[in-house]
Amino acid sequence: MERMARAGYATFSWDKPGTGESTGQLDPSRVQRQRAQVVLDAIEVMKARPDIDPRQIGLAGISQAGYVMPRVLSPARMSPL
């Protein structure tokens, strides 16, 4: 994340619910949906910032992001998460 920031990219990172300083818990039966919603919420936060071009927002991740990001980017997400 620091390397991306030094390269001029804005970054947004958070602790998953119940980890680090984050509150809440993940429901194991809905973990993919909950994580996808967190990403969608983060995108909205980024889009609201005047110093970020909302047309230039991208996603990068590892591990669990491999199943969450496709869900976020899928046209099927138009159905309720």
- The pTM of this model reads 0.73
Distance CA 52, CA 15 (A): 22
3-state SS, residue 81:
coil
Cβ-count burial 15-35 (b if 16+ within 10 Å, e if not)? eebeeeeeeeeeeeeeeeebb
27-65 pLDDT per residue, tens: 777 777 888 888 999 999 999 999 999 888 888 888 888
